[in-house]
A and B are shown apart, each in its own frame.
Chain A
Amino acid sequence: METKKAIISVKNLVKKYDDFVAVQDLSFDVYENEIFGLLGPNGAGKTTTLEIIETLRAKTSGEIIVDGFSVDKHAHEIKQIIGVQLQAAGYYPNLNLIELIELFAGLYGANIKPMEMLEKVNLQDKAKAKYKALSGGQKQRFSIATTLINQPKIIFLDEPTTGLDPQARRNLWDLITEIRSNGTTVVITTHYMDEAEQLCDRVAFVERGQIIALDTPDNLIDKLVSSGFERKKEVKKANLEDVFINLTGKEWRE
């Protein structure tokens, strides 16, 4: 991470849904080839922020540049160089996985072998299965396969491990690490702090549409420890989960 070239730059992003301000004055950079985590409680504005960068939602104000392209003027170009996994998405009905991958290859104008894409996420055995017939983890893996079809420079993963068992999660971590090691930048959201700590080079904490902390997991933990924080009843000093709770409070969010 010596050469910190920003591949995504978000400046003063604001998003209002009618009167409600979901994102207020957000600014951050994502560096080339890093795994960048967006963390924060439900309704903090993570999905909103991601989908604005992905050119799927209109912003109220601010400036976003993705690999040199502005979301305002070059949405089409941006879409060609990003891969997107949505927090909630569906796939064309009545088609099997191979056919779905073929469809996406056409939509992206990519020349790929569908079976190879499925092998990347270890779904080759389910090639003839319908998306509906997959388990939760398999669905997530399939979604990730669809993000890789156009060999994107950046992929966005919105809670890719939610609902997965610990093994499936760790498998996905391997996959994500591997995608990154092939030169792809990864932007990910998650509610699992161990995951963020393990995967992410840097994380941003979002709370009520604002960034309240942005650093490497290590630095954030160190900072908390040096402020005199100590875990109750435990010998270990702290983990990122503590940072999360400490920063965003303990109360329930809708």
Chain B
Amino acid sequence: MNDNNINAQADREELNSGMKTETTNRGGAYSNTKATLALAKASFRSIIRSPSAVVFTLAFPLIFILVFGFLGGGGTHIDVGISPGPDLKNPVVGMLEKTGMIRLVKDKSKEDFAKLLEKGNVDAMIDVHRKVNSVAYSVNVVYTSASMDKGNILKSVLNNLFYDKNLKPSIAEIKESTVHGREYKTIDFILPGQLGFSLLSTGVFGTAFVFLSLRQTLVIKRFFATPVKRSSIVIGEGIARIGFALIGALFIIVLGNLFFGFTLVHGAITVVNMLVLATLGVIVFMGFGFIISGIAKNESMVPPISNIVTLPQFLLSGTFFSIEAFPKWLQPISRALPLTYLNDAMRKVAFEGVGLWDVKFQIMILFIWGIGIYAVAVKVFKWE
């Protein structure tokens, strides 16, 4: 009791002195930024302490990467026809063989290849011959619209073999140093897909769970008793979620690069480009999360509804297999999903080393999705 009284005395003085400083403080304007950042910090702390977030964002994608990383050549194959000629042991063909991703089809006539190309039974045809009076080779590639996707992969393979001098129908001057260029691995296909999946899970599940539980456990109600703005709550949560997703993405990219030789054509710049895409992706996916948090009645409804959003994208957006592997009637569905475009852009940026401007089409589709989703989210999102 005595102790209490002493404490009380001390507290009173503190409160009193507090009151004085406060009268001067109160003149200052309330800072929305400070509130937003406080929320972002709190949310970020909460996320990294929640096991499910860490599992979905890091563990799952890493496991898949590990599995496929060790499986090695088990991924996509590109069938490339080599047009008959005298010089099949040339270094270009040798390099193509080494990539492990490309299956060379030989011993067929040009006419046979033309038919196979038409049906998409081979993904491209390549013709290599030495230029007259020259040590350089001329490379002629014929793609097929029946298999544009794989053709594109081949294109990037060649791109990398020849750096950017690639398919000028002219001469590819293959020097020894150039030929030992990048090698294409399964990881280059798998990692962007897993990254996309990681962003999708974090964005959808994380956002849906957090806002539903903050609403249901009346955390948001208590927030509303403070001067904080609704936009601060959303933005603060968003910053934390995006920050966490980007750290996860960076982790996956760096790990993939160090241990599985994931190709980053322009090094750090490629990573930055990928992170920009990741940010855009996770913002779009968070929109799904907002919608789900609004329509779910309780926490147990979040996983099933979230799966309706994530599963089709997980399966149909080229996470594991190229979209081309699906039946024709499924492909339009694949091409409607936002993750398809994120994966596509990620691969182009990482694989081919293109800049963001070169994937503007994919970015535009993601923007359109974003606008659509947030238009719905604004309607169905519930604060209480």
Residues of chain A having any CB pair with chain B under 8 Å: 54, 56, 76, 79-80, 82, 84, 86, 88-95, 99-100, 102-112, 116, 119-120, 122, 146, 148, 150-151, 171, 174, 178-179, 181-183
Contacts and interface: CB of A to CB of B under 8 A. Distances in A.
29 contacts: A89-B218, A90-B218, A91-B219, A92-B43, A93-B46, A94-B45, A95-B42, A95-B46, A100-B42, A103-B39, A104-B226, A106-B35, A106-B37, A106-B42, A107-B38, A107-B39, A107-B223, A107-B227, A108-B226, A109-B28, A110-B25, A120-B11, A150-B226, A151-B15, A171-B4, A174-B8, A178-B11, A178-B12, A182-B12
Interface residues of B, number: 42
B136 to A, nearest CB: 63
A102 B219 contact: no
B249 to A, nearest CB: 22
A80 B227 contact: yes
B31 A109 contact: yes
B217 A90 contact: yes
B379 interface: no
B70 interface: no
A116 B14 contact: yes
Given A76-B227, A89-B221, A107 B11 contact: no
A88 B38 contact: no
Given A95-B45, A106-B34, 6 more contacts: A76-B227, A89-B218, A93-B217, A94-B45, A116-B14, A182-B15
Contacts of A106: 34-35, 37-39, 41-42
Nearest to B32: A109
The 3 A-B residue pairs with the shortest CB-CB distance in the complex, in nearest-first order: A106-B38, A90-B217, A84-B225
Contacts of B223: 107
A104 B22 CA distance: 16
Contact of A109 (B16, B30, B41, B213): B30
Contacts of A82: 225
Contact of B226 (A79, A88, A116, A122): A79
B222 interface: yes
Contacts of A183: 19
Contact of B26 (A76, A79, A80, A86): A80
B17 to A, nearest CB: 10
A104 B223 CA distance: 8
Nearest to A103: B42
Interface in B228-250: 228
B18 interface: yes
B8 A178 contact: yes
A103 B236 CA distance: 11
B298 interface: no
B242 to A, nearest CB: 18
Contact of B45 (A89, A90, A99, A108): A99
Interface of B is mostly: helix
A109 B35 contact: yes
A181 B16 CA distance: 10
Interface in B192-241: 213-214, 217-219, 221-228
A94 B50 contact: yes
Interface string B1-15: 000100110011011
Contacts of A116: 14
B225 A92 contact: no
B224 A102 contact: no
Interface of B: 4, 7-8, 11-12, 14-16, 18-19, 21-22, 25-26, 28, 30-31, 34-35, 37-39, 41-43, 45-46, 49-50, 213-214, 217-219, 221-228
B37 A90 contact: no
A119 B226 contact: no
Given A89-B222, A107-B226, A178-B8, A151 B46 contact: no
Contacts of A103: 38-39, 41-42
Contacts of B30: 76, 80, 109
B34 A56 contact: no
A181 B218 contact: no
Contacts of A148: 15
Contacts of B218: 86, 88-90
B48 to A, nearest CB: 9
A119 B11 contact: yes
B12 A102 contact: no
A238 B101 CA distance: 93
Contacts of A102: 38, 41-42
Contacts of A110: 25
Contacts of B213: 93
B225 A56 contact: yes
A109 B42 contact: no
Contacts of B46: 92-95
Contact of A122 (B7, B25, B37): B7
Contacts of A182: 12, 15-16, 19
Contacts of B38: 102-103, 105-107
A164 B82 CA distance: 84
A191 B223 CA distance: 26
Contacts of B8: 174, 178
Contacts of A54: 225
Contacts of A105: 38
